[in-house]
Structures are given as C-alpha cells and as structure tokens.
C-alpha cells in the first residue's frame, strides 16, 4: 500500500477519519492525500448574495487543507508524507476520478451516525463511493478510534470471491498488520440460498487458495438477521475490521437493500472495508 486518499468536508466526522488514516499511513509507510471537492453554491432565495468565484473557492479549500496538514505535521513530523488537493465538482465524481488518476490504494471516508449502516449511510457520499468506486473504501464511523488491526472478518458468500484480485487489498492489510482473517459465511435461515453443494465446495476451494499465504480461518453461521449475526461474531471474536464486497446479489447489497436493517445497528466501533 503506497497511497491513501482521504476526502474531507472539514466536519468533525471527516476529521476523525483523517486521524485514523494518518495513523494507518504512518504504520504502512504510505503517502496521505488530503482531498476536498468544492462547488459554486446555488442561490435558494431571491435576496442578492455575494457568490465567491472559483479561484476564491479553491484558495479557501487549499487553506483549510493546509491547516489540517500543519496539525498532522506537528504530530508525525517527517514520518508522514502529505499532499493537499482541491477540485471543483461533485464530491463522489471528483473523489472517484482522482482516486483512479492518482492510483490510490485506499479511500478512507468518515461515516456519521450511531452505527446505523443503512439509515445513516444511504444517500451519503460514503455510500455512493462504496457502490461506485473501483478503489477499496474504508468507512470510519465517528466513534471509531485507531488501533492496530489484529482480527479481520471477511463477511461474504463464497461466490463473491471468484476473482481473487478483489482480495488483494485485504491480503495486503492483513500482511501489514500481521492480522488474522476470519472468513465469515453468513446465511439467513429464513431465506436459505438455493445453491448446490458442488458450487459451495468450488467457491470454498477458490477462496482458500486465494488466502493461502494469509493467516485465516473459516466460519459459518445461520441467523434470522444478517446484521445481528455479524454483530454477534464481531463481539465474540473481538474483530477490529469488517470486510465486505458490494457486488450485485452480494451480502452487502442485501444489507443495503433490506428495509428492516434501517432499524438495526451495525457495529459502530469497527471500520468497514469494501472491496471491488
């Protein structure tokens, strides 16, 4: 891992994600890119208002980013390489485009709320990036504080990982932290997946081969509620990070699309890494 991109809107939630990303960048010896997207505000009343020009907006954005850079420099000195970038445009599009052009290995985003995965995330920039970006996205809840990652839970069904390249970022993070990967296969006992034993075995073998050089173990649970099942596993195993793959028909998409999960808390003290 060489480059970590951290978009910010200068909110408390974003600042918390920046602090987490800075620690991660120092530990992994990665460059940290502080990123802000800005746009010309749209007048919503007929009352005349002074609208700043693009040059002023860019200048103000960079000044705010530089203030964050100064704060981080006081804490980390030359242990942390920082770059500040300001772009004009819609946040999701600009973040995604810049991550691609800069060949970012990871996007770290703040996530607001008391851990409500769906209700607090739907419609937000973080959720849109999770669903759109080809770059891995690490969502940091506002209550999460950085600590060494020693236990990682990969919540998936086996056919989500047929392309082993999707797991490379997970394997790299596990290598950096010397972490154990818990491969967690979750099935809703009220809506069992119709699949053949041969398909399950084939997916299991492919996944096992992909993780051959990583410290890992396999776990299978059936539950009446997927989110609660994952939460229980996180608590019981003291997991430090959860990993999901938001593809069509995947476990994470089921969670996002299930209205009932709006009422159910996803563990707010654990970062969520999505792979693509």
- The predicted structure's pLDDT at residue 62: 98
In a domain, 7, yes or no: yes
Longest dimension (CA), the chain: 68
Contact between residue 117 and residue 255 where contact means Cβ atoms under 8 Å apart: yes
183 and 89 share one domain:
no
Average pLDDT over residues 195-212: 74
Count of CA atoms in the C-beta half-sphere (13 A) of 110: 19
Backbone angles phi, psi at 272, to 5 degrees: -115, 115
**Tokens linked to 104:** 């970012």
Shortest CA distance to 25 belongs to which of 93, 88, 73? 73
Tell me: pLDDT of 114 over 50. Answer: no
Res 48: pLDDT: 53
Q: Can you say whether the dihedral through the CA atoms of 157, 161, 166, 169 is positive or negative?
A: positive
**Does residue 260 have a pLDDT over 50?**
no
Q: Total domain count for the chain?
A: 2
- Report which of residues 182 and 185 the model is more confident about: 182
Dihedral pair phi/psi, residue 170, rounded to 5°:
-65, -45
| Residues contacting 177, CB < 8 A, separation 6+ | 27, 148, 149, 150
* pLDDT value of position 268: 61
Same domain, 268 and 195: yes
Same domain, 69 and 24: yes
- List the strands of the sheet with 82-88, edge to edge: 82-88, 31-38, 3-7, 106-111, 137-141, 272-274, 241-244, 151-156, 180-188, 216-223
Residue 8 CA to residue 175 CA, distance in Å, equals: 28
Let me know: does 195 contact 160? Beta carbons within 8 Å.
Answer: no
Does residue 112 share a domain with residue 171?
no
On whether both 168 and 119 belong to a single domain, the answer is: no
Q: Is 146 among the domain residues?
A: no
| One domain, residues 137 and 251 | no
Domain holding 55, by residue range, is 3-141
Given this model, what pLDDT does residue 112 score?
Answer: 73
- In tens, the pLDDT along 84-113 reads 999 999 999 999 999 999 999 999 999 875
Burial readout 144-157 (b: 16 or more C-beta within 10 A, e: otherwise): bebeebebbbbbbb
Q: Of 2, 67, 12, which Cα lies nearest the Cα of 32?
A: 2
Is residue 196 predicted with pLDDT exceeding 70?
Answer: no
pLDDT of 259 > 50? The answer is no
- What is the model's pLDDT at position 51? 66
Residues 136 and 155 in one domain: no
Percent of the chain's residues with pLDDT above 90: 53
- Report the mean per-residue pLDDT for the chain: 83
Which DSSP string do the residues of 183-226 spell out, in sequence order? Answer: EEEEEETTS-----HHHHHHHHHHHHHHTTTS-EEEEEEEES-H
Whether residue 274 is predicted with pLDDT greater than 60 in this model: the reply is: yes
pLDDT of amino acid 72:
98
One domain, residues 134 and 178 = no
29: left (phi over 0), alpha (psi -120 to 50) or beta: left
CATH number at residue 164: 3.40.50.620
Q: How far apart are CA 162 and CA 238, in angstroms?
A: 28
Cβ pair 269, 144 in contact under 8 A: yes
């Amino acid at each position: 891992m060489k480059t970590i991109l951290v978009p910010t809107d200068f909110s408390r939630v974003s600042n918390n994600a920046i602090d987490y990303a800075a620690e991660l960048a120092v530990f992994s010896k990665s460059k940290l890119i502080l990123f802000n997207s800005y746009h010309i505000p749209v007048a919503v009343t007929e009352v005349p208002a002074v609208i700043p020009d693009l040059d002023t907006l860019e200048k103000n954005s960079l000044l705010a980013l530089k203030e964050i850079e100064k704060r981080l420099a006081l804490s980390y000195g030359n242990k942390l390489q920082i770059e500040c970038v300001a772009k004009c445009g819609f946040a999701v599009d600009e973040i995604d485009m810049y991550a691609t052009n800069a060949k970012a290995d990871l996007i770290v985003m703040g996530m607001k709320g008391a851990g409500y995965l769906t209700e607090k995330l739907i419609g937000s920039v973080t959720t849109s990036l999770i669903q759109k970006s080809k770059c891995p996205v690490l969502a940091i809840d506002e209550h999460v504080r950085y600590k060494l990652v020693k236990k990682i839970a990969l919540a998936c069904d086996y056919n989500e990982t047929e392309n082993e390249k999707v797991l490379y970022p997970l394997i790299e993070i596990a290598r950096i932290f010397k972490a154990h990967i818990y491969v967690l296969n979750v099935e809703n006992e009220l809506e069992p997946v119709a699949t053949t034993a041969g398909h399950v075995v084939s997916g299991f073998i492919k996944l096992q081969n992909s993780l051959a050089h990583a410290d890992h173990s396999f776990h299978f649970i059936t539950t009446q509620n997927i989110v609660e099942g994952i939460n229980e596993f996180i608590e019981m195993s003291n997991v430090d990070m959860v990993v999901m793959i938001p593809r069509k028909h995947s476990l994470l998409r089921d969670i996002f699309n299930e209205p009932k999960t709006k009422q159910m808390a996803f563990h707010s003290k654990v970062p969520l890494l999505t792979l693509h």
